[in-house]
Amino acid sequence: MFKKTLPFFIKVITPLHAGSGQDLGIVDLPIQRERHTSFPKIEASGLKGSIREVFDGLKDDKEKMKELKEKYPDIELTKLEQAISLLFGPENTDNAHAGALGFTDARILLFPVKSAKGVFAWITCPKVLERFRQDMALAKENADYKIPDKLEDGECLVSENSILVVNNAVILEEYAFQVSDQKIAKDLASELVKRTKIDPRQLLVLSDNDFTDFVNLSTEVITRTRIDNETGTVESGALFTEEYLPSETVLYSIALASPIFSRDKGIFRRDGRSEEELVLEFWNDNMPDVMQIGGNATIGKGLVEIIKGGSNEDSK
């Protein structure tokens, strides 16, 4: 049973492909999506695997090992490997026990769309914001801010001092959205800025339907080929399309910590502090600010910024 939680945010730096396998639709290799909403997501299993890969690399990072030794004087290579196994679960099934650290699927929060003014807008919608508030409440985070009322299709809410407005409208791609007299609540804008480091002047709330259309139709779709080295031409059947979440997309997930599922607690046994607290602290201290998630790492895809920490002091 998970006893400690901490939300974190994923801001896409280079286009990200968390794939769902081959598809018979227009795009050969689409991204992962929620079945009931079609909103983009990153499966918890893929997210956890990417994070584990980062932690597996700690033992090769001399500076990081030096930092770890300052906090855990008795840590060494075998102790670190044990700690990673206790956190994420053992890779060897002969010594099977569950890992003490879990993650939720990474859900969409803000999606970037090209704007006629202000370069681009970060769009969201009441459905996404309400779900975000519910998830933060489940994580025992402060989430007391006003969610906008339902909007009509073709209508939008802008923040104070918005840089997106042209003649009382916002033009996204080739579509014009009428600016509502209502503004995005200051407490909501402040909450999103604090957690995601966005520019509030580019924040935009659309109707649920309009948001759904953009996250389905405005992702990046790249056509790729494979060249035959002997002929210098495209190999037969080697033309395919891949879908990516665009740069500047913001998602969120929640890290979930439980007591250690092993008799040997390793570095997570300390007087006066719970195991789940130590698990979450170890994860939070050693998560990098930038990491890679998803496919095509060798061509620079999937670099993301990790924005850690919650507003609830008890969760830190």
How many domains does the chain divide into?
1
C-alpha 175 chain-centroid distance: 27
3-class secondary-structure state, position 249: coil
- Does the residue 70 lie in any domain? yes
The whole model's pTM is what? 0.91
Would 143 be classed as within a structural domain?
Answer: no
What residues contact 244, with CB distance under 8 A and at least 6 apart? 15, 16, 17, 31, 219, 220, 221, 222, 301
Higher pLDDT, 70 or 316: 70
Per-residue pLDDT, averaged over 190-206, amounts to 95
Highest mean pLDDT among 14-28, 67-81, 212-226: 212-226
| Domain contains 213 | no
Distance CA 84, CA 125 (A): 38
Confidence of residue 315 (pLDDT cuts 50, 70, 90): very low
Q: Range of 258's domain?
A: 1-18+44-104+254-310
At residue 7, the pLDDT reads 96
Q: Is 134 within a domain?
A: no
Does residue 284 lie within any of the structural domains? yes
Q: Is the pLDDT of residue 312 over 70?
A: no
Phi then psi for residue 193, to 5 deg, are -65, -45
In sequence order, the 6+-apart residues with CB closer than 8 A to the CB of 115 are: 121, 164, 170, 171, 172, 202
293-299 average pLDDT score: 95
pLDDT at position 167: 94
Task: Evaluate whether residue 152 is within a structural domain.
Answer: no
Out of 56-60, 185-189, 198-202, 237-241, the most confident range is 198-202
Tell me what the mean pLDDT of segment 210-239 comes to.
Answer: 85
User: What is the band of 313 on the pLDDT scale with cuts at 50, 70, 90?
Assistant: very low
Establish if 95 belongs to a structural domain: yes
33 in a structural domain: no
